[in-house]
Amino acid sequence: MTPDKSPLLKAAPWWRLSTGRTLVVRGGRPLIGTYPISGAKNAVLPLMVSALLTPHLVTLRNVPATLDVAVLAALLQKLGCEMHWSATGAGLSVTLSADRVQPGRIDPELVTRMRASVLLLGALLARCGEARLPMPGGDAIGLRGIDFHVTGLRAMGATVELAGGVIEATAHGGLRGADILLPLPSVGATENLLLAAVSAKGTTRIRNAAREPEIADLAACLISMGARIDGVGSHVLTIEGGLPLAGAIHAVLPDRIELGTLACAAAITDGELSLPHARVELLGVAAPLLDAAGVELRDVDGGVVARRASSGLAGIDLVTGPYPGFATDLQSPAMALLATASGVSTVSETIFEQRFRHVDELRKMGADIAVHGRTARIRGVARLRGGNVTCTDVRAAAALVIAGLGATGKTTLDGLDHLDRGYDRMTEKLAACGADIVRF
Ligand code: UD1
């Protein structure tokens, strides 16, 4: 479905009007050059939502120019948040001003485009004492319930009703601190409850909190607004809520998923990429695992250099897991790489139930992959071959670009909204590193 770009352009004027619907990659060229790593998609979304908590100005730097950012900007603008964008050498900057928030002005169509819009629940409850939004959308990669979010907000005194696909939440007497144990370290639930807790009266403890670097980035911004949060980076976050929140100026964390994705692209093409702003340590166990697969990653001054090891690509066994485990968002890009690694690899997905939808597309390109339940078994082939493939989710899209770059012949991709949701100007950045890639 082609998104209606008009509300997006109004809120995020940098969003391109005439983006091509088809991407053509002619593979076999080594990627050599500099590919700047943008701010993290998964960090910027909760950071933008945090601006709803304060009437003061929140400035975010290093904002990635992605479709999800444009969609969230349009949602926030409807809610009454003003935004001023500027383009700098270091990416986009935005100053958000949520002087007056009108929680009733939610755009249901925009909410259903993106899972992260569920974060509006915690922030609107905290700021306005009410929120009403349809069930959020996002990638079709699993059940992705919001029960942890709802249970946590109820523990903080909110009334939350779910009926007819709409979430209705109120906390007119204000939220209060609570002791919350998450059944799983959910990234979104941790962020939502953190956003709510900084405005709730009293102490909130979030146990079994997710530890993804994007959560630490959100906490850092909230702390610079005046929030008191202990245990950042650990499984227990303790928040002394109810303090007045000022504005903040915050630079968004570099995108570790873009880093891992481009490292795979450098390795599959036998090229060498310099990835400014990236840091290897953000990859957690993905760094040693990629290394074992023949993806050399080296921290250098101001970034990372990635290339294929001289010993070539080798099969590995990987299991996705919460941070610092192997990121589920790198599972499909890694699978594209392993499709041409020597020997047999296994990839087990433990976070989402339906995150193998790229497998059928990779098979069209000659990959030898068998799926049994949540594990894929990959027998490396010498080369993938070009084909006509469809992007089924954000990370599948990146996997197919990697496969196309490493394949012989021409690969044609459609379903590019998925790519645009998560990757900042990928086509242009790849072309600057020697890829034969066009979009029309
Ligand atoms: C975030 C990321 C996404 C990443 C994922 C896991 C953003 C915008 N998205 O998604 O890119 O793939 O973390 O690292 O940051 N669950 C429930 N009930 C809930 C909440 C979650 O059952 O209330 C389940 C989900 O169905 C899933 C698992 O918990 O199986 C983990 O999901 P979660 O960490 O919440 O992922 P998201 O925050 O949606």
Residue 138 has pLDDT above 60, yes or no: no
**Per-residue pLDDT tens digits for 373-393:** 999 999 999 999 999 999 999
Q: Look at residues 433, 39, 37 and name the one whose alpha carbon lies nearest to residue 273.
A: 433
The answer to which of 156-165, 194-203, 250-259, 408-417 has the lowest mean pLDDT is 156-165
Ligand 1 atom showing the smallest separation from residue 214 Cα? 15
What local confidence, expressed as pLDDT, does residue 29 receive? Answer: 97
Radius of gyration of the chain (CA): 21
The reply to whether ligand 1 has any atom less than 6 angstroms from the CB of 323 is no
Phi-psi region of 174 (alpha: psi -120 to 50; beta: other; left: phi over 0): left
DSSP 408: B
Instruction: Report how far ligand 1's centroid is from the alpha carbon of 418 (Å).
Output: 17
pLDDT average, residue stretch 212-221: 98
Ligand 1 atom showing the smallest separation from residue 151 Cα? 23
What local confidence, expressed as pLDDT, does residue 88 receive? Answer: 78
Contacts of 135 (CB under 8 A, 6+ apart): 112, 146, 162, 165, 166, 167
Name the residue with the closest Cα to ligand 1, atom 5.
Answer: 187
The reply to whether ligand 1 has any atom less than 6 angstroms from the CB of 326 is no
The reply to whether ligand 1 has any atom less than 6 angstroms from the CB of 329 is yes
Name the residue with the closest Cα to ligand 1, atom 25.
Answer: 144
What local confidence, expressed as pLDDT, does residue 1 receive? Answer: 47
Name the residue with the closest Cα to ligand 1, atom 15.
Answer: 42
**Per-residue pLDDT tens digits for 6-49:** 888 889 998 875 578 999 999 999 999 999 999 999 999 999 99
Residue from 186, 206, 350 whose mutation best tests the ligand 1 pocket (most atoms within 8 A of CB): 186
Contacts of 406 (CB under 8 A, 6+ apart): 27, 28, 265, 268, 269, 336, 337, 340, 383, 384
Name the residue with the closest Cα to ligand 1, atom 11.
Answer: 329
The dihedral of CA 295, 36, 327, 286: what is its sign? positive
> 163 pLDDT band (50/70/90 cuts)?
confident
Name the CATH superfamily, with its identifier, for domain 41-251.
Answer: Enolpyruvate transferase domain (3.65.10.10)
What CATH number should be reported for the domain whose range is 3-38+255-439? Answer: 3.65.10.10
The reply to whether ligand 1 has any atom less than 6 angstroms from the CB of 149 is yes
Residue 74 has pLDDT above 60, yes or no: yes
What local confidence, expressed as pLDDT, does residue 179 receive? Answer: 98
What local confidence, expressed as pLDDT, does residue 182 receive? Answer: 98
Instruction: Report how far ligand 1's centroid is from the alpha carbon of 57 (Å).
Output: 29
Report how far residue 40's alpha carbon sits from residue 330's, in angstroms, rounded to the nearest whole number. Answer: 14
Helix (H) / strand (E) containing 378: strand 375-379
Residue from 47, 187, 195 whose mutation best tests the ligand 1 pocket (most atoms within 8 A of CB): 187
DSSP 39: B
pLDDT average, residue stretch 313-328: 98
The reply to whether ligand 1 has any atom less than 6 angstroms from the CB of 421 is no
Ligand 1 atom showing the smallest separation from residue 328 Cα? 12
The tokens describing 426, both together, are: 């990928």
Report how far residue 416's alpha carbon sits from residue 421's, in angstroms, rounded to the nearest whole number. Answer: 9
What local confidence, expressed as pLDDT, does residue 145 receive? Answer: 86
Instruction: Report how far ligand 1's centroid is from the alpha carbon of 395 (Å).
Output: 14
Instruction: Report how far ligand 1's centroid is from the alpha carbon of 196 (Å).
Output: 18
Instruction: Report how far ligand 1's centroid is from the alpha carbon of 396 (Å).
Output: 16
The reply to whether ligand 1 has any atom less than 6 angstroms from the CB of 398 is no
Q: Which residue has the tokens 């928040």?
A: 239
Ligand 1 atom showing the smallest separation from residue 184 Cα? 29
Instruction: Report how far ligand 1's centroid is from the alpha carbon of 305 (Å).
Output: 30
Report how far residue 176's alpha carbon sits from residue 241's, in angstroms, rounded to the nearest whole number. Answer: 8
The reply to whether ligand 1 has any atom less than 6 angstroms from the CB of 17 is no
What local confidence, expressed as pLDDT, does residue 5 receive? Answer: 63
Asked if 376 contacts 369 with a C-beta cutoff of 8 angstroms, the reply is yes
Residue 137 has pLDDT above 90, yes or no: no
The tokens describing 347, both together, are: 């990839």
The reply to whether ligand 1 has any atom less than 6 angstroms from the CB of 190 is no
**Per-residue pLDDT tens digits for 75-104:** 999 999 999 999 977 789 999 999 999 999
Half-sphere exposure of residue 212: CA atoms within 13 angstroms, side-chain side: 27
Q: Which residue has the tokens 């060229």?
A: 29
| Whole-structure pTM value | 0.96
The reply to whether ligand 1 has any atom less than 6 angstroms from the CB of 328 is yes
pLDDT average, residue stretch 258-267: 98
Residue 225 has pLDDT above 50, yes or no: yes
Q: Look at residues 26, 114, 136, 116 and name the one whose alpha carbon lies nearest to residue 417.
A: 114
**Per-residue pLDDT tens digits for 298-308:** 999 999 999 99
Q: Look at residues 58, 408, 400 and name the one whose alpha carbon lies nearest to residue 249.
A: 58
**Per-residue pLDDT tens digits for 388-426:** 999 999 999 999 999 999 999 999 999 999 999 999 999
> 141 pLDDT band (50/70/90 cuts)?
very low
The reply to whether ligand 1 has any atom less than 6 angstroms from the CB of 320 is no
Ligand 1 atom showing the smallest separation from residue 115 Cα? 39
Q: How far is CA 166 from the centre of its chain?
A: 24
The reply to whether ligand 1 has any atom less than 6 angstroms from the CB of 351 is yes
Question: What's the mean per-residue pLDDT of the chain?
Answer: 94
Residue 164 has pLDDT above 90, yes or no: no
The tokens describing 215, both together, are: 């959560």
Report how far residue 303's alpha carbon sits from residue 255's, in angstroms, rounded to the nearest whole number. Answer: 12
Residues of the chain with CATH 3.65.10.10: 3-38+255-439, 41-251
